[in-house]
Amino acid sequence: MHVVAPRNEPRRLYVVEQRGTIRVIQQGRVRSGYFLDIRSRVTAGSEQGLLGLAFDPKYAKNRFVYVNYTDRAGDTRVVRYRTNGSRALVASARQLLRVDQPYANHNGGNLLFGPDGFLYVGLGDGGSGGDPEDRAQNPGSLLGKMLRLDVRRPGSAPVIVGLGLRNPWRYSFDRATGDLYIGDVGQGDVEEVDFTPRARLAGLENYGWDLYEGSQRFENGEPGPGQLVFPVFEYGHDQGCTVVGGFVYRGPARPAERGRYILGDYCSGIIWSFRFSAGATHSVRVEPFRIAGLTSFGEDAAGELYAASQSGTIYRLT
């Protein structure tokens, strides 16, 4: 489901598996055993499961990791664990967030630390289709939101920094600029990528759903609070059906590709890349390969990019 690496471990990749386990790839080989095994606590299947992993910015010292999963009741939980450097200590679990999920789909699931040191938690609109209870535009609901957690103050309430999301399936911060890119899964016609510059992270963005699907009007009504944001990239369902947000490439291996944002589609396996600068998207191209069952992209410590497939294969983009 995901590939993650802390900045202080250049030879390791951590692979999130939907059933509730995390494996370690060390110097190209899968290490025996599990970094974390919480299968007894996870509901897995379809869009549910262990969905996200993030390492604390001070992981080398405090050994904290954070996971996002759907529990046995199907609700979202964000939980912190301490590790011994080799494995997470299950008994150290501390819950930071629990959100009721009214339906089984649109759980979001990503976890990512921003350049401001806060943990960002993207949640879908609660599921079903068409956001039937209008949660995404409702500031009184945590669903359909980008949340910010201060993990340095356990027990502090989450802060809504974005609303109007349908199902943010992978978002990332550009490690060079701190800008935020969000892949938000569409309803029936449009898949989109949204963009928030680092300077606006402290504000409130409104990404439009369910009044807009991409840049197209979906439903009548007035938007909730926040600055209305339209996609910087979108594509129709003639090219795929589920966007998988990626990363801006900043690795050393491919200097010509630095600054290109890379994304893909779960259904078609198509991979796109583009540059975004001065408020405009340009140099869009379809890459000459596809990844069947694409579920996620990831970065290693150096900024090289990887992709995860539902088949169980991990790719390094070269």
pLDDT digits (tens, 9 = 90+) for 234-269: 999 999 999 999 999 999 999 999 999 999 999 999
Q: Which two tokens stand for residue 13?
A: 């990749």
Q: Class for domain 2-316, per CATH?
A: mainly beta
Q: Which two tokens stand for residue 157?
A: 């309430």
Q: Is the pLDDT of residue 318 over 90?
A: no
Looking at the DSSP bridge assignments, the partners of residue 47 are none
Q: What ranges do the domains of the chain cover? A: 2-316
Q: Judge whether 62 and 56 are in contact, CB under 8 Å.
A: yes
Edge-to-edge strand list for the sheet holding 305-309: 294-299, 305-309, 314-316
pLDDT band at 154 (very low <50, low <70, confident <90, very high): confident
Which of the pair, 155 or 170, is modelled with greater confidence?
170
The CA distance from 188 to 160, in Å, is 27
The CA distance from 78 to 113, in Å, is 13
Query: pLDDT tens across 275-305, in order?
Result: 999 999 999 999 999 999 999 999 999 999 9
Looking at the DSSP bridge assignments, the partners of residue 66 are 54, 80
The CA distance from 43 to 39, in Å, is 8
Q: Judge whether 215 and 234 are in contact, CB under 8 Å.
A: yes
Does 210 sit behind a cis peptide bond, omega within 30 degrees of 0 on the bond before it? yes
CA dihedral 103, 127, 125, 219 (to 10 degrees): -140
Rg over alpha carbons for the chain, rounded to the nearest Å, is 18
- What ranges make up the beta strands (E) of 102-223? 111-113, 119-122, 145-149, 159-163, 168-173, 180-184, 190-196, 205-206, 212-213, 216-217
Global pTM? 0.98
Q: Is the pLDDT of residue 68 over 90?
A: yes
